[in-house]
Amino acid sequence: MRAPTFDLTLLRTLVAIADTGSVTAAAKRLAYTQSTVSMQLKRLEAQLGLVLHEREGRRVRFTAEGERLITHARKLLALNEEAWRDMQARQVSGELTLGIPEDYALLLPSVFSYFHQLYPSVGLEVVCGTSADLVERVKNAEMDVALVTRQRRSPGGEVIRREPLYWAVGLSHQPLLSDPLPLALYTPGADVFREVAEQALQNAGRQWRVAYTSQSMSGLAPVVMAGLAIAVVTRSMLKPTLKPLDETSGLPALPSIELALHWAPHRPSEPARRLGELIREQLANEWVPV
């Protein structure tokens, strides 16, 4: 007698409904019609001889049996993806250069490690620099791909994340918030953070002075921690020794910045495409999606 097997397509539909909460949203995610999603869910129930869900208006509530199967389904789908990646990884080889600001490189150690495990035949070189410089180097085909802060003067790129900006001071020490405000900023042209901060203060009629400059937050953090200046940071740059200022500080609100992948002016190589996929996945999992 042949052992029964699950249809992964049906399980993928089940998980999509669980993640989105409704048949309509699941259909949009999977690029199916609503009737197809409903039919696949009913087919799964028929195969098992179990009731897996109940409808509450437009929402779907899963029974205890449905919740148990969702747990198994996630594991099976993850194992299926791992198997596919493992079998395809052996076919990927070559050289790859990624450009990235130092502050963002600190977010991706798990991506670099996982990429090496998946594609051991790919030689990955990571080059740190300012966003503005990296964008130009990618345009000149000096590197394959770069993850940067999207620049106002050279927008382009594939936006994969929007990140709010905050004014930040030291956790234990902070300067007086009176004019002129002492600022710790990126060096001119290093990134859009400086331009955004100065524009916000100008619009609010505030006075400031640039007390410290660096091309990375690691260079600015010590003086901010010491209470000598205020910095502009993203949420991911907020170290335990720094704290964000809210609207009660009297400082103007800051806009969000965009993180973008810039590709060299030719069709991305297979290693570059695979690395880009992992970076998108990592940022989506750790931060709020774009």
Same domain, 30 and 172: no
**What is the number of structural domains in the chain?**
2
Query: What value does the mean pLDDT take over residues 234-246?
Result: 88
Query: What value does the mean pLDDT take over residues 147-165?
Result: 84
Same domain, 150 and 210: yes
**Choice among 57-66, 85-94, 216-225, 237-246 with the minimum mean pLDDT:** 85-94
Q: Is residue 108 part of a domain?
A: yes
Same domain, 107 and 213: yes
pLDDT of residue 14: 94
* Amino acid identity, position 231: A
Same domain, 47 and 21: yes
% of the chain beyond a pLDDT of 70: 95
Residue listed under structure tokens 């966003």: 131
Q: Would you say 164 and 254 are in contact if contact means Cβ atoms under 8 Å apart?
A: yes
Half-sphere exposure of 284 (CA within 13 A, CB side): 9
Q: Is residue 1 part of a domain?
A: no
Residues spanned by the domain of 247: 94-289
Q: Provide the CATH number for the domain around residue 72.
A: 1.10.10.10
Q: Is residue 266 part of a domain?
A: yes
Number of Cβ within 10 Å of residue 258's Cβ equals: 19
Same domain, 256 and 278: yes
Same domain, 169 and 107: yes
- In tens, the pLDDT along 15-50 reads 999 999 899 999 888 888 899 999 999 999 999 999
Q: Provide the CATH number for the domain around residue 142.
A: 3.40.190.290
Same domain, 107 and 208: yes
Same domain, 130 and 266: yes
- In tens, the pLDDT along 132-147 reads 899 999 999 999 999 9
Query: What value does the mean pLDDT take over residues 166-192?
Result: 91
Tokens for 14, please give them. 């089940």
Which band of pLDDT confidence, cut at 50, 70 and 90, is reported for residue 85?
confident
- Among the listed residues 277, 241, 257, 106, the one whose alpha carbon sits nearest the alpha carbon of residue 194: 257
CA pair distance 2, 18, nearest whole angstrom: 30
CA pair distance 264, 119, nearest whole angstrom: 21
Same domain, 110 and 213: yes
Q: Is residue 2 part of a domain?
A: no
The pTM of this model reads 0.66
Same domain, 85 and 98: no
